[in-house]
Structure formats: C-alpha cells, structure tokens
Amino acid sequence: MKLNVQHDVSAKIDLFKETCHKFLSKINDPKIVTERLKKDIIKLIIDEVVIEGESVKIFATIPLPNKIHEREMDKTDIPGTFNAGATLGPVNETNMARIWNKHKQTNTPLKRKVFVAMSGGVDSSVAAALLKKQGFFVVGVFMKPWQDKSIRCLWQKDREDAMRVASKLDIPLLTWDFSKEYGRKVTQYMIRAYQRGITPNPDAMCNKEIKFGIFFKRAMEEGADLIATGHYARTEKGKLFKAKDSNKDQTYFLWMLTKEHLKKTLFPVGEYTKPEVRKLAKKFKLPTFDKKDSQGVCFIGPINMKSFLKQKIANKAGKIIHLDGRVLGEHDGAHYYTIGQRHGLNISVGGGPYYVIKKNSKKNIIYVGVDKDLFQKTTKVGGLRWVTGDLRLPARIDAMIRYRTIPGKAILKKDGTLEFKKAQRAITPGQSAVFYKSFQLLGGGIIQ
C-alpha cells in the first residue's frame, strides 16, 4: 500500500512499524485467521518497502484463495494507517470475494500475472522479455515433452536455455512435466495416423492438447490471469489474425483455439518480423538471441520422419503402381509415404519424375504419376471447428491446405465439401485445412 503522510523519514518508519504491529497482532489471534492465512499475511508484509519523498510505499501480495488468485497491488492515496482488522475475517471464498471487490472499486492498478510458455527458443524468450517490459508479472514455464529413449535427448539443453533467459529477465521459471500427456495425446496420435495411411499434423495437435490444453488449464488453476506463447499470430477484439511477418505466420497451427482461449492469450511477437525479434533479443541481451530455429517435429529430434516411423511401424512390402495401371516398383510400407512425395521412391522406369498421387492403405499400394496429376479442386473436410463462433455455411472463404502456402479461394459447404476456384496441389488426407477471411483466422478441419 502507498501511505501518503506528511511526516519526516523517521516518522514514516515508525508509521510502518505501527502498521506491521497491527497486522501481526491480528494474525496471532487464532480466532480470526487460520494458519494458512497467517502465512499469507506474513508474506504480504515482507514484500517491499520504499520511501519516496513524502510517501511510503508498501508493496504487498493480497492472499485470495481458491478461484480468486493472488495478485500484486499498488493501492494509492490511502490516508493514515491501513486498518488490518477491517479486512480480516473467517477464511472463505465469499469473504475474500468481498475484499477483492472492495479493492477493485478503488481503481487499484493491478500487475497482471502472465504464464509464458518458454521453450528455450528466441521467440518465446523475446515474448517473455516484452511482457516484463510492459509491466506484467511474468512467470516462465518450461514444458517437458515426450522424448523417445532411442533418440539423443534434446529437452535438457532447451530447458537450460530457458533458465538462462529467465535468470537474465529476473523472472521465475517453472518446469512442468507433460511428457506422459505429450506421448499419449500427440506422439501416439501421430503414429496411429501414419498407420492408417494419413499424414497427421502433430504441431496443431500439440497446440490443442498441450499448450492450449493442459498448460492453459494448469496456468489458470495456479493463478494466471493470462498465458502467452512465442507464436507468430495477433489477437484483436477477441479475434485471431495472421502475424505481421507473413513468412513466419503460425495461425495455420492455431485453428483449434476457442474464443475462451483468445480472451486470455497473448502473442507478443506477432507484431514483429523474425529479423526484428532477433534484434530485440540482442537488445535485451538474451542468451538465445542467435539460437537457430528448431526444424521438424520437436520430439523426434535430428532424425527424419521415416527413420522414426520405422522404429514404431513394421515394414510391409507393397507395389508402386502408375495411375495407368503399370507396376513400376516396390515400396517398404505405404504408411511411410505422403501425397506429393517424390524422393525415396524405388522406381527405375523412365518417364518421371514420379510423385505419390494417392494410396490404398488396406491393400498397401502406392499410386504414382507426374506433377500435373497432383492437382484437384474438391476435397472433404471433417471435424470442423470455429475460432470465434460457428460460420454460416455455405460460405466463401480462403482455405490453406498446407503450412506456408497461399490460401486459395473456395466455397465450404454444409457437408464439409471444400471446392476451390483453382485446383490445389497435393491435397493430403490428415493435414489441416484452415479457413481465413482476408487476414482473420475463422477455423479449420481435417482433410479426409
């Protein structure tokens, strides 16, 4: 609290001692407070005391249990001493709500608490630094991912980088072990999808299940007002928009978010280009300013997808057949290949280059053709979700079928049929079809 008093320094110190005495006299009365509140009140007293000119500032943490979380407060222009007895009473949510509402009515400025998902990369590091500079109470969280035992462990190095950044910014860093949930909800989802013969999008699933699933939920339970990530995206008035840097925009992976997420999520780097983020990292003297961006799926590490899948899915030899019916070669498992793939095909017959055009997973057959065979205008999309409310169908939208591609003009019908004005290349089952209206993300679904 800030106490405005017209006294000299020694009188102010005496006033502070008197105020502390009143607090302590109350908390020592077991009839008024429990041991838990006693502990919190003591914590409130010892936060910080600053004497500036004609005022004394006592910075404290108000203990608000259950759904009403702890917040830092700087309450100004309170004459005289703070009467501790006036706010202490039986410890229950109703009483704490009354106290909290009273403070809100006095136009008390709050330092809102933001939990930042810190991966150890430059983007999330700068996100945390920007929020700290803007005056938020920042808590960094490193989420331990699933890691295959056969792969060189990578997450420890990322955690070390996150710790170094947190130390530089003077913010706490928590480590939350989500490895089991990650393995079950993301890794196994990906493996099962490949087994079925489709090409999944693990990044979108990671956002849905981990960052905006268990991380979002736990952060709110532990007192966060907001969460933040290093995604390149922007929010405005409850809507989600593409990032300033069109080359780094990551809204394609965020189509599973809801309007509830958007109300409590910040994307600090969305207003910057990647080079600008690098410059900011250097300006803030962050140890990750020159760290290279991660490539591929994070939990796989430096090996390619096929090598990883070979450890999880057994080889199964099958035929490579041209669209005209000719057998051109053999493969080691249709599940290892994706639509549009050119390299890795065991074809010695001329007339190529050949591309995977479609697959029959039940019969374990890969059908190939030339590049022009990859183009089509119509596909089906299932599992439709909308970011800010249902879209009235049929609707004219811009649809993106792959990350870092130009959205195509299309009509989305009620039955999930997506018809493009111009044919799209290599529409791949299992990938996300993400819908936009100009720069605004509307929602998305899974290509069937």
Closest CA relative to residue 19, chosen from 60, 65, 66: 60
Residue showing tokens 């493969």: 331
206 is catalytic: yes
Q: Yes or no: say if 313 and 359 are a contact pair by the CB < 8 Å rule.
A: no
DSSP classification of residue 183? I
Q: What is the DSSP string of 41-100?
A: HHHHHTSEEEEETTEEEEEEEE---TTS--EEE----EES---GGGT----SHHHHHHHH
Closest CA relative to residue 126, chosen from 273, 317, 311, 262: 273
Q: What is the DSSP string of 238-278?
A: TEEEE-S-TTT--GGG-TT--HHHHHTEE-GGGGS-HHHHH
Q: Which of 96, 162, 206, 366 is catalytic?
A: 206
Q: Yes or no: say if 267 and 231 are a contact pair by the CB < 8 Å rule.
A: yes
Instruction: Give how far Cα 182 sits from Cα of 25, 149, 152, 161, Å.
Output: 49, 14, 18, 21
Tokens encoding 399: 């649809």
d(CA 407, CA 398): 5
End-to-end CA distance of the chain: 59
C-alpha 172 chain-centroid distance: 18
d(CA 193, CA 199): 7
Is the Cα dihedral 49, 55, 61, 64 positive or negative? positive
Q: Which of 84, 298, 345, 374 is catalytic?
A: 298
153 is catalytic: no
Where in the sequence numbering do the catalytic residues fall? 206, 298
